[in-house]
Structure 1
Amino acid sequence: MPGRVSGSLPAVWNVEPRNPEFTGRDTVLADLRRRLDTGSTGGVQALRGVGGVGKTQIAIEYACRFAFHYDVVWWIAAEDPALIGEQVAALAVELALAEPGTDTATAVAVLKAHLRGRNRWLLVFDNADDRAGVAKWLPGGPGHVLITSRAGGWERIAATVPVDVMERDESVALLRTRRPELSPEDADLLARALADLPLALAQAGGFLAETATRVGDYLTLLDSHATAVLTEGSTGDYRKPLAGAIDLSATRLARLDPLGLAVVRLCAFLAPESVPVHWLLAFGRSTAARALRAPGPHAPGGPLAALALADTDPVALHRGVGSAVRLGLATSTHDGVRLHRLVQAVIRDQLGADAADVRRHARTVLVQAAPGDPEDPATWATWARVVPHLLSVDPGGADSPELRDLACDAAWYLTERGDSEASARLAVDLRTRWTAASGPDDRHVLRASRCLARAHREQGRYETAHLLYEASMPRSRRVLGEDDPQTLRLAHGHAINLRLRGRYEESRRLQQDTLARYRRLLGHDHPHALHSANHLAADLSALGRYEEARELHEETLARYRRVLGDDHPDTLRSANHLAADLSALGRYEEARELHEETLARCRRAFGEDSPHTLRAADSYGTTLRRLGRLDEAHRLQRETLARYRRVLGDDHPQTLRTAHNFSETLLARGESEEAHRLQADALEAARRVLGADHPETLHAARHLALIRSDLGR
């Protein structure tokens, strides 16, 4: 039990005053206390994290908060290993174990013997980078040792406590502690821009207070002059501004491990997410990296010259990553390395005129990491890692054909994964900037146009998509030719959009022509030919030619299963279409079995909220209603409609289709009033979204009239 009142300090104490603005970190502090109190690792804990993350402040707060558990608390600045010994010896003098002037070795030996025989002491080694330089001063025994470090490798002498950036609510609280007049919204904007790094938050609060700068102006300055901004502003209890700390670490890294600095520079142009080391190794073996050894602008002394070593000495690259982590410029992940966004900003500023060249090489890293076909679910995990980095290298400003291809594939991937909003944002930027740079007839401009048209189509913006298809199709036919794969993919998408706009016969004619060309050029089993066949069958179904649609869907599904496998999204889409045809033909039990299997596969492969899953659930609900299984249909359709509203919004055409289908089930269950309310709302939205003359709008109007008749209105 403690021998003093809580809040009092021990007689032997040299810790800096407690930071009155310290905010949050309760979880880390509680975990640290639990770890030290159990003594399971000999009472030695290492707080590890990047520079500016608040390790020292946490250590000070721990010492102050739990001071009454100790009789001795001694702080040791451990950045320079050569100066540790005299600080440890000073504790021996403070405890009257040695006379002033006693040589360090004698004083430390006496101190260690003394501490090993008692508890209730805490030593803090702050800002330690050298494990060996700290290990020899540890006394052992039942007391506690706390180490703060940017470096790793403490496992042999300490348990590591990772220190990450602050939680967002903690960041907001810290900013508002320093600047009470900040609104929660402005504080949140600042915290997001500063990525919740405590030192940056402290500086931002100081800068705003000292310069009367508005939050919006500060964010603009941060974006354009990161180093200058991160040099200014009171840092509170932090020893140096963030920019200065980063610059110091980069200077040390340049001296100790130039390859590590090259890694940091390259990663500064990627996203503040994990960069897999195997990407860096692949780049090291590339032609671009080998060119760094050649005479010219990339000769030794250039910003990435040291990366040439990675080709002949891959171990050196791993060592370089470790050096960057050890000096606090990066954080290691399970398979790579990550830079904080503010570290990235300062490093980019330091490069000056060399920045464009380093960005070009960062783009090359991503081209080499290209995941492959964005329609193949096997590539999606890799795409999820690549896309944030791709967005960081400004693909719209690229003239590399390879990077442009990668950017278009990324936009297509985003739509495949159900994020058509993000796909549209990317495609708009690519199309606008590439058109300005290369003209409207450029091949990649046409690809970006196709990506954008599809994204609009998936969002239910059929008229906007139509305008894009109408503008792009003649250009592609003229520039690339009638049978170019790009032209055919545009025609295929245009035909789908025509069907969704209710122009079923036009869609059928265009899709039939496209399918014939695909089969002649690529064969019947090519995925693009199968896509075209699948949608031609959907056209036939929309025209009421259900038996023809069933035959074509059946043939196409068999080919899909053989070529792409049972769980590919296109296979499951085809299966869902075939089940709908069977249901339309009155073959309800066959349809139910196929629907049930398809929905289960979609849920397992894509999750409950995927467009693939929701379409399958909607179709299955209709078949259950036709089978008379009204309670099952009701439960499934109600849930599906709720998900569509949440995922796509109330007015998306697919939401309206599901609302219409659900109203039919409600009417069949005798819930005519609810069916009327739902259908009336859906009809009003359909007139607004699809137009009064769209076949689906007219069908909805007829169904509403039927409901009103049932109600006697």
Structure 2
Amino acid sequence: MPRRRTSWVLTTSIIAVVLLPTATNVASNALPDSWRSNLWLAWPICILLAIPVLVMELRTRHGAPAEHAPPPVTVAPKTDTQIWNIPAPVKEFSNRRAEFRRIGTILMRGSGRALLLCGMGGIGKTQLALAYAHRRRSSLTLGWRVSAGSRTSVVSSLAELGRQMNLASTTAESTARKVVDLLSEREGWLLIFDDAKSCEDLLDLIPVTSGGQVLITSRNPQFDRLAETLLLEVFPQEEAARFLRNRAGDADQDSSAELATRLGGLPLALEQAGAYCRDSGIGLRDYLQRYDSSRARLLRQGSGHSRVSVEATLDLSFDWVMRRNPAAMQLLRVLAFMAPADIPRNLPMMSPSVLPRALARACADVVALDEAIATLLQASLLTSATAEHIRVHQLISDVLRDRITADGNRGLRWLRGLRAVFTPRRDPSSSWSVSRWLKAALTLLWAGVQVNERDPDGWSRAATLLPHADRVWTYLVNGEVTFRQKEMVLAAQLFGELGIRLFRKGDYAVAEELCRRAWRIGQEVLSETDPRLLRLANCLAQVTHGLGKLSEAKDLYEQALSVYRRDYGEDHPDTIQTMNDLGGVLLEQDEHLLQARRIYEQVVTTRLRTLGQRNVHTLMSMNNLGKVCRYLHDLPTAHALATEVVRIGSELLGEEHPDNLVWINNLAEVSRAQGDLEKARALHEKVLTLRRKVLGETHPASIVSMNNLARVIRLLGDVPSALQLYEDSLALARQVLGEDHPSFTAAEKGVQECLADRHLLDDGNDSS
């Protein structure tokens, strides 16, 4: 009989090993695309698998072993009548003074509510609770650490406490409830429910009384029904660096600051790094070098004292999320390739087609995406989440990225496909390569920047997306992956569009760097006549024009214009737009004013015919034509154009729109040229006030308005006020734009003229 049973077990095992992975992958839709035509095999496979399972079930039904009892709880030696099983915190535990004060303040209020210590894995929740218990031990008669990983473990831990209190009953559940009832009537005790997973596991198992204290530690912040919440944050930069220096015994401030940044201030990671340095006799700079070359290995190691490693700690959260919501885990993997900065919450919804299937389905439904984000929040795998943004801790991203297969295994794709058949996997995207995840991240960023470049909301969004675009680009620069031409083109377009939006926002230096990067990439992967390269040329030309580099801007515009005229014709919108932009450069050079007027007359005529007068592009061209007319002293034409543009522009865009402020500024300058200084002053004051409100005081356009207003005030004879405004403008221009920019030159000239006027006034007063 034993031999027959053994043979059945062996047969079942063999069949299960061969067939179960295949059936599982069919059910989870994890098979490679090339296997889809063979899905009909699923039915015979499942039938074959069911036969041995049914036989084994019938043979073992009457002899199933009893469920194993939970391991016994180790109880610390009693001191007098004290019951205590709470271990001491680790020796190196950092003293979180502010958190200790808040714990004491909340628990000593005697409200009867528990306190939840919440935060990501490795943040120090358990150690903080143990340290609090250690400090309070002398004033307590009972302290008990309850393993709260499940309701069963909570009941078991409380039942063990009941036995220590001589409250044993027939079942663990009844004993646990006796403990809760008794503690509700007593004082001087502390319970720590450690690593709780959900509020439901603790319902009816927490004493409600002001005589004792209850601490709960959890990664899940959703315990509002039972407890007040104290969210634990990572260490601030200075505190993290100081902890590293003390723990490692190394006074190197630069290395400690750099390492603290790389580890994101996570206490467990800091402790692990410091212990490694202390135990191995190396300094923090040496550890940094090892971290660069062997990060994954170091994060797996732990730090002695039987403490788990950073990676093992995070693994618990990853596994829980994967079981709970696969789309959430896929979302986290995408976010791992972003920077540890704010990420637009709706970014994954911008291009769901490049995402893994479960996440793509979630992104088609905002509620499903909310559920995925909520799952990550419950596991404390997001450091923040608002209606607008989400953010991931750097170490979480590092651990996830280290696990993803790089492009070096391209030759083994067939082996990975075969493994997908025989390896059960709920998440097919876990085998995606680094380049595939980066392509998804790059595509999302590109989709996220697709907002009108003249829309101020798009400028702020571009500033938010920039650190993530830089992070994706870093992988390519460091040689970690190789992008195909398609992705290189996408990267060039992304940086160009980010650059032009940041230029509109006023970040000229950053905009120039981005547009030059985009132009370099584009020249390497695109032909000279490709419209995408011409767009990159236009972006760089706009930025160099704004920086006062007129010669370079003129060359770029003329290069693009020649291609547009040849390939698209004179009336094509891109041809007309490039002519409009080129005219803006020419009108700032006296020798080209007549050429600029001819260009703008052609552009205005074409746009009036094709777009109509009530169009933003038409108004821009009319404004520019009016500006040229002013420079050429054709003031009646200039005034008529400026007045019409402001009237229509205010109706179309609203008075405070940045483009409309440009047009009002031009009308003010026409009024100044006509000698109507009071009207010019009122208009310039209005523009300056609105630009400071909408764009900020340091925006280049605000500096231009300061110069223009100062000029009018000086002409009105208020030299002291004009001088003060010019000096303020000069300081801002030096700080924001540099001393080579035209706005700096204009402010410097204005200061000199005001000083000369004041000198003449002083001489006149002396002579009188």
Alignment of 1:109-258 (within 5 A): 109-142=177-210, 143-181=212-250, 183-207=252-276, 226-232=295-301, 234-235=302-303, 239-258=307-326
Deviation at 1:343, TM superposition (A): 1.5
Supply the distance in 2 between the matched residues of 1:54 and 1:371 (Cα, whole angstroms): 41
3-state secondary structure, aligned to 1:38? coil
Of the three residues 73, 98, 110, the one matched with 1:27 is: 98
Per-residue CA distance 1:621-680 (angstroms, 9 max, x = gap): 21112112334334433333333333334553312312222332333334999xxxxxxx
Q: Is 1:321 the counterpart of 2:376 in the alignment?
A: no
Supply the distance in 1 between the matched residues of 2:357 and 2:279 (Cα, whole angstroms): 41
Per-residue CA distance 1:154-177 (angstroms, 9 max, x = gap): 011111222222212122222222
Deviation at 1:590, TM superposition (A): 0.9
- The residue number in structure 2 matching 1:417 is 505
> Are the aligned partners of 2:597 and 2:628 in contact in 1 as well (CA < 8 Å)?
yes
Deviation at 1:44, TM superposition (A): 1.1
In structure 2, relative to structure 1, the CA distance for the partners of 1:244 and 1:577 (3 Å cut) is same
Deviation at 1:544, TM superposition (A): 4.9
- The residue number in structure 2 matching 1:408 is 496
3-state secondary structure, aligned to 2:116? strand
Deviation at 1:570, TM superposition (A): 1.3
Of the three residues 554, 561, 570, the one matched with 2:643 is: 554
> Are the aligned partners of 1:449 and 1:472 in contact in 2 as well (CA < 8 Å)?
yes
- The residue number in structure 1 matching 2:440 is 361
Deviation at 1:415, TM superposition (A): 0.8
In structure 2, relative to structure 1, the CA distance for the partners of 1:247 and 1:325 (3 Å cut) is same
Supply the distance in 2 between the matched residues of 1:312 and 1:409 (Cα, whole angstroms): 26
Supply the distance in 1 between the matched residues of 2:710 and 2:622 (Cα, whole angstroms): 25
- The residue number in structure 2 matching 1:298 is none
Of the three residues 327, 331, 334, the one matched with 1:259 is: 327
Of the three residues 287, 297, 306, the one matched with 2:358 is: 306
Deviation at 1:418, TM superposition (A): 1.0
Alignment of 1:221-620 (within 5 A): 226-232=295-301, 234-235=302-303, 239-275=307-343, 278-280=346-348, 304-307=356-359, 309-310=361-362, 315-331=367-383, 333-335=385-387, 337-352=390-405, 354=432, 355-366=434-445, 368-370=447-449, 372-394=451-473, 399=486, 407-466=495-554, 468-469=556-557, 471-500=559-588, 504-505=592-593, 507-620=596-709
- The residue number in structure 2 matching 1:292 is none
**Residue 381 of structure 2 aligns to which amino acid in structure 1?**
L
Structure with higher Rg: it is 2
Of the three residues 621, 629, 637, the one matched with 2:726 is: 637
> Are the aligned partners of 2:734 and 2:744 in contact in 1 as well (CA < 8 Å)?
yes
- The residue number in structure 2 matching 1:58 is 128
Deviation at 1:334, TM superposition (A): 2.3
Supply the distance in 2 between the matched residues of 1:238 and 1:522 (Cα, whole angstroms): 73
Supply the distance in 2 between the matched residues of 1:66 and 1:641 (Cα, whole angstroms): 61
Supply the distance in 2 between the matched residues of 1:671 and 1:206 (Cα, whole angstroms): 73
Please identify, of 112-121 and 46-55, the stretch whose mean Cα deviation from structure 2 is larger: 112-121
**Residue 330 of structure 2 aligns to which amino acid in structure 1?**
A
3-state secondary structure, aligned to 1:75? strand
The count of residues paired between Structure 1 and Structure 2 equals: 651
Supply the distance in 2 between the matched residues of 1:313 and 1:613 (Cα, whole angstroms): 42
**Residue 404 of structure 2 aligns to which amino acid in structure 1?**
L
Per-residue CA distance 1:432-491 (angstroms, 9 max, x = gap): 223222234332222223222323333344455455445544445445554444444444
Deviation at 1:282, TM superposition (A): 6.2
Supply the distance in 2 between the matched residues of 1:134 and 1:171 (Cα, whole angstroms): 34
3-state secondary structure, aligned to 1:154? coil
Please identify, of 647-656 and 158-167, the stretch whose mean Cα deviation from structure 2 is larger: 647-656
3-state secondary structure, aligned to 2:486? coil
> Any gaps of 5 or more consecutive residues in structure 1?
1-7, 290-303, 674-706
Supply the distance in 2 between the matched residues of 1:710 and 1:486 (Cα, whole angstroms): 60
- The residue number in structure 2 matching 1:676 is none
In structure 2, relative to structure 1, the CA distance for the partners of 1:328 and 1:582 (3 Å cut) is same
**Residue 343 of structure 1 aligns to which amino acid in structure 2?**
I
**Residue 102 of structure 2 aligns to which amino acid in structure 1?**
D
> Are the aligned partners of 1:63 and 1:73 in contact in 2 as well (CA < 8 Å)?
yes
Supply the distance in 2 between the matched residues of 1:498 and 1:647 (Cα, whole angstroms): 25
Please identify, of 396-405 and 485-494, the stretch whose mean Cα deviation from structure 2 is larger: 396-405
Tell me: higher relative CO, structure 1 or 2? Use CA pairs within 8 A at least 6 residues apart.
Answer: 2
In structure 2, relative to structure 1, the CA distance for the partners of 1:66 and 1:557 (3 Å cut) is farther
TM-score normalized by the length of structure 1: 0.80
TM-score normalized by the length of structure 2: 0.74
Supply the distance in 1 between the matched residues of 2:645 and 2:102 (Cα, whole angstroms): 58
Please identify, of 638-647 and 497-506, the stretch whose mean Cα deviation from structure 2 is larger: 497-506
> Are the aligned partners of 1:21 and 1:177 in contact in 2 as well (CA < 8 Å)?
no
In structure 2, relative to structure 1, the CA distance for the partners of 1:146 and 1:436 (3 Å cut) is same
